[in-house]
Amino acid sequence: MSKTPAALQQFDIVIIGGAMAGASLALGLAKLNQQRKLQHLPCLSVALIEAHQADDSHPGFDARSIAIAHGSIFELTRLGIWPKLAHLGTAISDIHVSDRGHFGMTELNAEPLGLSALGQVVELAKVGQVLFSELQQADISLFCPAKLASLTAKADGHYLELDDGSQLSAKLLVAADGANSVVRQQLKLAAEQIDFGQSAIVANVETDKPHQHWAYERFTETGPIALLPMANMASSNPSSSNKARLSLVWAVSPDKAEQLKNISENDFLQQLQLAFGNRAGRFMAVGQRVTYPLTLTRMTQPIYHRCVFVGNAAQTLHPIAGQGFNLGLRDVVSLIEVIEQQLAQHLHGDVKADVGNSQVVHQYLASRQQDRTRTMNNIEFLVRGFSNQHWPLVAGRNIGLRLLSWLPPLKRPVAQVAMGWR
Ligand SMILES: Cc1cc2nc3c(=O)[nH]c(=O)nc-3n(C[C@H](O)[C@H](O)[C@H](O)COP(=O)(O)OP(=O)(O)OC[C@H]3O[C@@H](n4cnc5c(N)ncnc54)[C@H](O)[C@@H]3O)c2cc1C
């Protein structure tokens, strides 16, 4: 017996992917709808399609911790999201940057900038739980777990089929489906990939010294080591207050990453101590070690007919400067602003704007051009410049780091970039 095809569900906006970028966008649009309801204006119909529920299997909300920059906290607060996450954050008050075996080092500090923190560190698994529960309560249609199976682009919108048989249409399709975007593949769009020949080994480590909210970035011959301060586990043991939990991202060659993943805990701690030094204290324990290949994937133009790309689907960065989600969030914020502008043009009629028209798509592209290019170029420069032992480069970067220490006014623009200020 042939199955009756599911009825077509029509939406203004369909978002594919509900991890950091897609969930932030969906919640931001739900907030925009709330404001429009209060003004008795027509609301947008929004659907979010996510393949995984917020459990251990979720690839976007895994064991990683990420640093959310000060500028991103400001934007997440405006979207109504940070107040729900604030209890999960550990403040970064200072960042120490050094070049192993050379004289260059500098610090970025919140206090001289008149800030209480340069950013906040959050554990993605915990963030995922909160965002998922917010999405379930928000005024959007959540399809989860469900996967985009196929899509057809037509003049008036995209027609989608999900793996559970649901049929959807979207005036605007938003791809927030990560580095290997299925939307990008289905639309046969190209993305450039740069392989830095590095993998990241990611783990939580414990030190014998409180972190005092310092984060560290240490450039070594094999790749950078980043340590982010984390909240201590709840413990009844008073000696735990003299210890610290930090999130480690250690970039090395893929072979070395495999080796570091598989050696004993003691050997790992010894090698880490040797590579990082003693500035954060003595490394006492390491949790589960996970590896990630480090590549930069970018679309030249993260748009298509009635379709835009945000977050990792548009560009996936090396985590050297902790900018991936910070840049992805700026995609999300810009898109919401462009949609708001489009809706504002229809204030005095009951005709709802077409939020997928080419004006919206091209305005989004224009709004993202400069920030994307600058951030991706900066990161490529950092990865190549600081993984190189060619002496003019070593000298140049060490003089640069020293200059930053000696001339505090130079730090402000660097700090502004690090903090993701728009
Ligand atoms: C080691 C490491 C450290 C990092 N540290 C930082 C940091 O300190 N600061 C920072 O800002 N960034 C950091 N990043 C980057 C940051 O983690 C990412 O930029 C961000 O999490 C990407 O979110 P996203 O939503 O764009 O993509 P993803 O997390 O890749 O999410 C894509 C989502 O789409 C879903 N999906 C895929 N295909 C389909 C389909 N067909 N149908 C339905 N759903 C689908 C997936 O299930 C997933 O939930 C780091 C990254 C790494 C690897």
CB neighbours (10 Å) of residue 359? 15
Q: Is residue 134 part of a domain?
A: yes
pLDDT of residue 175: 98
Query: Does ligand 1 have an atom closer than 6 angstroms to the CB of 14?
Result: no
Average pLDDT over residues 121-143: 96
Examine the pLDDT at 207 and tell me if it is beyond 80: yes
Residue with CA nearest ligand 1 atom 2: 319
Q: Is residue 384 part of a domain?
A: yes
Average pLDDT over residues 254-260: 95
pLDDT of residue 233: 67
pLDDT in tens, 112-129: 888 899 999 999 999 999
pLDDT of residue 54: 79
Contact 333, 75 (CB under 8 A): yes
Query: Does ligand 1 have an atom closer than 6 angstroms to the CB of 23?
Result: no
Residue with CA nearest ligand 1 atom 28: 178
Q: Is residue 307 part of a domain?
A: yes
Average model confidence (pLDDT) for the chain?
87
Query: Does ligand 1 have an atom closer than 6 angstroms to the CB of 202?
Result: yes
Across 373-400, b (16+ Cβ under 10 Å) vs e yields eebbeebbebbeebbeeeeeebeebbee
Question: Distance between CA 221 and CA 230 in Å, rounded?
Answer: 26
Examine the pLDDT at 411 and tell me if it is beyond 80: no
Across 187-196, b (16+ Cβ under 10 Å) vs e yields bebebeeeeb
Number of domains in the chain: 1
pLDDT of residue 212: 95
Ligand 1 centre distance from Cα of residue 26 (Å):
15
CA contacts within 13 A on the Cβ side of 74 = 12
Ligand 1 centre distance from Cα of residue 32 (Å):
24
Q: Is residue 147 part of a domain?
A: yes
Q: Is residue 199 part of a domain?
A: no
Question: Distance between CA 359 and CA 357 in Å, rounded?
Answer: 5
Q: Is residue 220 part of a domain?
A: no
pLDDT of residue 180: 94
pLDDT in tens, 47-68: 999 999 978 778 888 888 999 9
Model confidence at 107, pLDDT cuts 50, 70, 90, reads confident
The type of residue at 104 is: G
Q: Is residue 3 part of a domain?
A: no
Query: Does ligand 1 have an atom closer than 6 angstroms to the CB of 325?
Result: yes
Q: Is residue 238 part of a domain?
A: no
pLDDT in tens, 319-372: 877 889 999 999 999 999 999 999 988 765 556 789 999 999 999 999 999 999
Give the atom of ligand 1 at the shortest distance from the alpha carbon of 52: 47
pLDDT in tens, 272-281: 999 999 999 9
Ligand 1 centre distance from Cα of residue 129 (Å):
15
pLDDT in tens, 377-399: 887 777 665 555 555 555 555 55
Give the atom of ligand 1 at the shortest distance from the alpha carbon of 312: 26
Residue with CA nearest ligand 1 atom 38: 177
Query: Does ligand 1 have an atom closer than 6 angstroms to the CB of 73?
Result: no
Query: Does ligand 1 have an atom closer than 6 angstroms to the CB of 297?
Result: no
Question: Distance between CA 244 and CA 211 in Å, rounded?
Answer: 6
Model confidence at 303, pLDDT cuts 50, 70, 90, reads very high
Q: Of the residues 14, 24, 27, 50, which should be mutated to test ligand 1's pocket, given the most ligand atoms within 8 Å of the CB? A: 50
Ligand 1 centre distance from Cα of residue 176 (Å):
9
- The CATH number that applies at residue 179 is 3.50.50.60
Domain range for residue 133? Answer: 8-194+295-418
Beta strands 214-220; 94-99: pairing state: parallel
Average pLDDT over residues 274-301: 93
